[in-house]
A and B are shown apart, each in its own frame.
Chain A
Amino acid sequence: MRIETRQEVALWRVLLAPPLAVLAALVLGAGLIIWAGEPVLASYFALLKGSLGSSFALNETLTRSTPLIFTGLAAAVAFRAKFYNIGAEGQLYCGALAATFFGTGLISLPPVLMVPFLMLVGAMAGGAILIVPVLLKTHMKVDEVVTTLLLNFVILLLAGYLLEGPWKDPMSLGWPQAAPIIDEGIWPPLLAKGRLHLGFIFALVAALLAWALMRFTVWGYEIRAVGLNASAAGFAGIGVNATVIRTALISGGLAGLAGVSEVAGLKGYLTLDLSPGFGYAGIAVAMLAQLHPLGVILSAFFISAVYVGADAMSRSTDIPTYIADVLVGLSVLTILVSVMLTRYRIRWS
């Protein structure tokens, strides 16, 4: 077996890679559906119907795609600079904690100021928690994957302590949850029915801004250059460490916004089950988008549809709902291969 570099990377191959990866993941996942004794096509059709088949389902899919766009962008920006931030889950909770700290009565501003203020503190909290891992990487060469992963556990425990102790809402009937965000800070719903809220628009704007940042600004150019070849970027006069630190702060900030969005937009208050793994799923979102910020919108929509649809499918069939996580995990692996095949060809000899 030999791997050869393709002379040109054809655009159609790049565009075809994500759908092919998704198809491959679905084909592999079909084995598990057959094992559950369910018909494959009918089951996938139930998944499709459960995620897009009605205005209620579509509303729910868009709602769930909102945090995934944020965490997907967080991973996409960071991975572009080869800064492997796997801590979006923890940063999401940091954003949610900051929004809860400032948004439950400590400060009261009119809504036009309160909403952006909570976004600002949430993003800052998400970025702040990455300062330790990124400085350890740039100054002491400590691998960021492990530190960001380990911090996820620390932050979740911290949130657990706050919600069971000092921040516990006395009105919550014993559940570990924080006091509700004051009305001025709540993001309004977009439609009369369903849970879709203003956060979805914010997520789309964030994706556009991230794309503009990466495509048209010096910062974006530096991020891409450092990711492609850090030592060459250094020789060309780019401050590699400064770029990595900046990237980390942007990435953590985006993940923090996911937390603000879930607290101020969806739930209205912080709970310990705020995120069912949005931070980790964000990695799959970013990979399926080939780290392109606008692609993140599409792939977040797809991953969200898998989660929402799998819930509906497992209600009507014997297929455990974990099928969604299996499909997401598989698609991280299949997209790696399909993207590789856009740049290389495999010759069997």
Chain B
Amino acid sequence: MIGDIFEILLTAGFWAATIRIVSPLILGTLGELICERAGVLNLGIEGIMTMGAMAGWMWVFQGGDLWGGIVFAAFIGALFGLFHASFTVYLGLSQHVTGIGITLFASSLSYYVFRMLLPDATTPPKIVPFQPYAIPGLSDIPVIGEALFSQTPLTYLALLSVPAVWYVLERTPLGLAVRMAGENPVAVESQGIDVLAVRTGAVMVGSAFMAIGGAFITMSAFDAFYFGMINGRGWICVALVIFASWRPGKALLGALLFAGLDALQVRAQQLAGAQIPYQFFLMAPYVLSIAAMVVMSRRASYPKALLVPFRRGDRV
């Protein structure tokens, strides 16, 4: 058994699957991370990912091109981000309840819109999704080439967004403003920067990331939109942010570890045959996410002003 698992780890197919699984998780996790670094917990993620999955897919199904679909999904995501921020940032309402409300609203609205536009679809209609693009030269490297450099463009986008988000957050004045808005908003205000605007911007950008993560699932991993297809991925992303201690690099590592175990789980399921019921393998991602939060909870240094609404003129 151990030998079999070891053998799986050496196949390019396993690593390619890991990279495929990790892509939407990276996008969702980065999106949540950007929101939380600015001090706003965004539990709308599950619904925003569903919305992104539906919106991007629908754009292509109605005749639009693939990248147009991604831009459209991002736009819709940002719109829901603005919705979230006007409640949590400007009105200072409960971030927990607003997020759950956004998730309930956005998921059911996605289904409603899908049914409105395709009232008679019994089997989910399909689109031509993103095709793998082998990067010349690099894709010829054994194992790594197939795993890392023969993916769809959306995967490359997901992987490249990790250093991009890291750079903006850690190395630019804008990123400093975002991080300070999540740590010490009063200090940001004293610099003449509008905390509410910074937080709103961060939530909108983060929500756009989430929506692209959702769109990956209908436009790259699969080619159709199903009901309930996000299936808790958004919540897993929230757990991954905690696991990553709110750092983009660690988020990539955590998501990779998670996706690797998920890819392994699928293959181990085939090995185990009927000995272990498949449901127990499917439980693994959710149990792992809880375990990941527990492992990192001792060291978690969460943004100081997370969940704390900012009101101008309030004394601390």
Q: Which residues of A come within 8 Å of B, CB atoms?
A: 1, 3, 32, 35-36, 79, 84, 86, 132, 136, 140-143, 145-147, 149-154, 157-158, 160-161, 164-165, 280, 283-284, 287, 318, 320, 322-323, 325-326, 328-330, 332-333, 336-337, 340
Q: Which of A136, A160, A318, A329 contacts B101 (CB 8 A)?
A: A329
Which of B16-24, B105-113, B181-189 is the interface stretch? B105-113
Residue of B nearest to A286 (CB): B97
B163 at the interface (CB under 8 A from A): no
B154 at the interface (CB under 8 A from A): no
**Known pairs A140-B298, A146-B235, A153-B286; A336 contacts B98 (CB<8 A):** yes
Is B290 a contact partner of A337 (Cβ separation < 8 A)?
no
Residue of B nearest to A327 (CB): B108
A189 smallest CB distance to B (angstroms): 31
B20 smallest CB distance to A (angstroms): 21
Is A140 a contact partner of B297 (Cβ separation < 8 A)?
yes
**Known pairs A154-B286, A165-B277; A323 contacts B97 (CB<8 A):** no
Please report the C-alpha to C-alpha distance between residue A337 and residue B96 in the assembled complex, in whole angstroms.
Answer: 14
Please report the C-alpha to C-alpha distance between residue A152 and residue B97 in the assembled complex, in whole angstroms.
Answer: 18
Residue of A nearest to B46 (CB): A149
Other A-B pairs, 20, CB within 8 Å; known A146-B290, A287-B101, A336-B98: A3-B311, A35-B116, A84-B96, A140-B298, A141-B297, A143-B242, A146-B289, A149-B235, A150-B287, A154-B283, A165-B277, A280-B104, A284-B101, A323-B112, A326-B109, A329-B106, A329-B107, A330-B105, A332-B104, A337-B87
A91 smallest CB distance to B (angstroms): 15
Residue of B nearest to A137 (CB): B297
Is A149 a contact partner of B232 (Cβ separation < 8 A)?
yes
**Using Cβ atoms and an 8 Å threshold, which residues of chain B touch A79?**
97
Please report the C-alpha to C-alpha distance between residue A316 and residue B282 in the assembled complex, in whole angstroms.
Answer: 39
B122 at the interface (CB under 8 A from A): no
Is A147 a contact partner of B104 (Cβ separation < 8 A)?
no
Contact with A along B271-302 (1 / 0, CB 8 A): 00000010110110011011001100110100
Please report the C-alpha to C-alpha distance between residue A223 and residue B107 in the assembled complex, in whole angstroms.
Answer: 32
Please report the C-alpha to C-alpha distance between residue A84 and residue B87 in the assembled complex, in whole angstroms.
Answer: 18
**Chain B residues within 8 Å of chain A by Cβ, number:** 47
B100 at the interface (CB under 8 A from A): yes
Please report the C-alpha to C-alpha distance between residue A333 and residue B300 in the assembled complex, in whole angstroms.
Answer: 30
Is B293 a contact partner of A147 (Cβ separation < 8 A)?
yes
Please report the C-alpha to C-alpha distance between residue A147 and residue B294 in the assembled complex, in whole angstroms.
Answer: 10
Q: Which of A3, A146, A153, A280 contacts B231 (CB 8 A)?
A: A153
Is A150 a contact partner of B286 (Cβ separation < 8 A)?
yes
A157 smallest CB distance to B (angstroms): 4
**Using Cβ atoms and an 8 Å threshold, which residues of chain B touch A160?**
279
Question: How many A-B residue pairs lie within 8 Å, measured between CB atoms?
Answer: 135
Residue of B nearest to A330 (CB): B105
Please report the C-alpha to C-alpha distance between residue A222 and residue B161 in the assembled complex, in whole angstroms.
Answer: 47
Q: Which of A328, A337, A340 contacts B104 (CB 8 A)?
A: A328
Is A329 a contact partner of B294 (Cβ separation < 8 A)?
no
16 example contacts (A-B, Cβ-Cβ < 8 A) are as follows A86-B100, A143-B242, A143-B293, A146-B290, A147-B293, A149-B232, A150-B235, A154-B283, A161-B279, A161-B280, A320-B111, A325-B104, A326-B109, A329-B101, A329-B106, A332-B101
Is A329 a contact partner of B87 (Cβ separation < 8 A)?
no
Q: 8 Å CB contacts to A: which residues of B244-283? A: 277, 279-280, 282-283
Please report the C-alpha to C-alpha distance between residue A160 and residue B277 in the assembled complex, in whole angstroms.
Answer: 10
Is B111 a contact partner of A322 (Cβ separation < 8 A)?
yes
Most central of A1, A149, A165, A318 by chain B CB within 10 Å: A149
Contact with A along B70-110 (1 / 0, CB 8 A): 00000000000000000100111110111011111111110
**Known pairs A1-B90, A153-B232, A161-B279; A333 contacts B102 (CB<8 A):** yes
**Known pairs A86-B100, A151-B290, A283-B100; A326 contacts B105 (CB<8 A):** yes
Please report the C-alpha to C-alpha distance between residue A32 and residue B112 in the assembled complex, in whole angstroms.
Answer: 9
A249 smallest CB distance to B (angstroms): 19
B39 smallest CB distance to A (angstroms): 15
Is B108 a contact partner of A140 (Cβ separation < 8 A)?
no
Most central of A146, A332, A337 by chain B CB within 10 Å: A146
Is B115 a contact partner of A322 (Cβ separation < 8 A)?
yes
Is A318 a contact partner of B119 (Cβ separation < 8 A)?
yes
B66 at the interface (CB under 8 A from A): no
**Using Cβ atoms and an 8 Å threshold, which residues of chain A touch B279?**
157-158, 160-161, 164
Please report the C-alpha to C-alpha distance between residue A56 and residue B282 in the assembled complex, in whole angstroms.
Answer: 41
